[in-house]
Amino acid sequence: MKVLKTLSAALLMFAMVGCDESALEREADSVRDQTQQQADQIRDSSQTDGEMTRDATQNAAENLRDRTENASDAVQDQVERRADQLEDSGERAAARKEEVGENKADAVEELGEKKADALEEADNE
């Protein structure tokens, strides 16, 4: 029993020593955290821009529909097609903004990961 306790204590000590992070490992973690935050901000911004674009075009389409509320059926049909085109255009523009933001965020994350990996590799040498 005494031998088991001694071995357990020794293993625990070796595990704790092995868990100490070097300065370069801490810096690598910091790089990852910072780039993740930047990527999240980029994503949030592009999502907000996309939503603002959708809202603006939907409001414009609704205003167009409202202005012709009392018009003839032919005019209302024509305006409805134009309003639908406006909404579709806004949706495509919003999706493009979100896609560009996502691609930029992915690139930031990838660059940060490469920097962090390089720091860890330098630490292992």
Q: Where are the domains of the chain?
A: 24-124
For the chain, the straight-line distance linking the first and the last C-alpha, in angstroms and rounded, comes to 40
Is residue 68 within 8 Å of residue 79, measured between CB atoms? Answer: yes
For residue 103, CA distances in Å to 23, 96, 116 come to 31, 10, 20
Of 13-17, 19-23, 81-85, minimum mean pLDDT range: 13-17
Give me the helix-helix angle, 73-124 and 23-67, nearest 10°.
180
Reported as a single tens digit per residue, the pLDDT across 19-51 is: 557 888 998 899 999 999 999 999 999 999 999
pTM for the model: 0.72
Q: Is the pLDDT of residue 91 over 70?
A: yes
Q: What percent of the chain has pLDDT over 90?
A: 69
pLDDT at residue 16, rounded to an integer: 47
